[in-house]
Amino acid sequence: LRVKTLLQMVGDAAAGMEYLESKCCIHRDLAARNCLVTEKNVLKISDFGMSREEADGVYASSGGLRQVPVKWTAPEALNYGRYSSESDVWSFGILLWETFSLGASPYPNLSNQQTREFVEKGGRLPCPELCPDAVFRLMEQCWAYEPGQRPNFSTIYQELQSIRKRHR
């Protein structure tokens, strides 16, 4: 896969998530494993089994961590059960990383608990070899510890479109 194709695919993912965000829908399980790709390389968000629609855009989970995909989940969701579009943005940053590392698993040498501790101490995934610098900067914004510091999906989509145009 060429970088241009990867940029198109993550742009499709951002457009889908922008739509969900506009409908106050929180996916809660955004990851490469939950994306479908058509024969024309159009990416579609799938697996809405964990998604929730909330009028205020925030879903508070009282359950434990039984089914939580820790390596894709934002700190505030892991620590406080607080899911929002901002926590989906964190997961989108991991999806970007998965895409530009051509399907590698995030934090491959860390257990779930080690990953949580690593992230809490400010650790983040490294830039994948194929990843344009501008995309990695966007990933880093998605991984801001404070949810309010992360871009929304409209901003992410616009930035990816801009990167794609510059990358031709």
- Catalytic status, residue 29: yes
Active site residue: 29, 56, 88, 133, which one? 29
Tokens of 149: 């510091």
Question: What type of residue sits at position 153?
Answer: F
Are 159 and 133 in contact by the 8 Å Cβ rule? The answer is no
Instruction: Just list the catalytic residues.
Output: 29
